[in-house]
Structure 1
């Protein structure tokens, strides 16, 4: 699936774009934007959950592994931060076109592109160095996530193919594997299911964003599914992916009945919302509801995984 329309602003125009306008912002807001703080936190949470569940299923104490926990969290956070900052550096031309990203420091020039690239590389190298003190398997999963996001998604597929969403989903889905593999090998039904849940979840979540920001993605020439194939195709695919989430919690029966019931209720609710999309008149409002539902869905699901495995419930 290819988008033949190339972005109107080429990568060679970055320095010009970033120097067009200086917008007054605080250093803190610039750094939060540069590191995509909300996205970063959303990706760190599954690492934590993966680590926690590995402790639970191996009957291992957190306090006895607190040093390993800190190394895993710090290392993975640095690697992910490096990838996100690289994305900001590489996509400054796209960000300059899109309203929601025009105030990023790479576009405003508040932080030079050379500095942004340096921050990205330093963060990445430090992250992998720290992770090497955990396990090779955890480091490998982190590398898969970094390589997929930086090379296969950001540099190769995002501007060319609607499959960019599928490719990008891999980078987010490996995060719980990093946490789990720091304790023991991730060839276990629980981390595998966490990977699948995150992989499938990211599709409708990202499609909802692409529908919300349709005009901006179209102006930037980004090959998102709604831009290339329209809203109806996007709605159908969202419904399919959301339905695929329905059976996955049942493979996590070891987390207990409470978790399965809550996860199933969440899945059924999302399926109902997806089906309603074929009858609504305001596609943008519907996309906004899907976005909000997807964010809360994941947050509730992963927090529940921790709650149901707390000692007080066992």
Structure 2
């Protein structure tokens, strides 16, 4: 058997790259019986028919990580892409992406794309909020080529998922990183100011510089029903760091007295926007648990 990596799956077929060849494979019925679905990014063992370059996936090797949305495995890091403008940045959605990536124990980088459109300083404000919270941030522009080399360095020898809403320029950014990709790019809908979906399936793309990236469909929402109320604070870096100074060990940082997090919000140490997003998610989790 040969060992390879699934680079995409479409309609029950899995395309497995082994060195310089790609084999079109079906999955063994055993996987369906065990309710196991091969994922893009899986390292697999395949049995090959050399006459027509087809084969069967015989075994899925142990996964390092597994994401639900997008469905992909063995990712090392997530680059979460948002636009400075067009579309308008949605920090509530950004915080959900950050939460999901942190929950999966991925290294997280925030990419603020289309930085050349930041004429009113809002993108700089966002940069300061998340830089102060402890996140790594890269400013990029495909027009001016700002930050492209920095992104390339981050991608080298990693498996990276690009996530973020539609229209923020993920595909254009990847095309600038490697010009022969020629990924389809979408315009912004003038009616809704949102991006039009261009990526139709999850695909692993090999980079000439070394490493892989996952180009994924855009998202508008992410479920957090896997969390409980106490766990939520772990995924807000600055809130969790400050929680050690709260009067009560079980503080949820909402209505409790002597809360160091609320004090930090009041004195500007923690972003009010981030804190409000935390409270919104806290209420969402409570509502889910109630039902």
Normalising by structure 2, we get a TM-score of 0.24
> Which structure features the higher share of helix residues?
1
> Which structure features the higher share of strand residues?
2
* Rg larger for: 2
Normalising by structure 1, we get a TM-score of 0.23
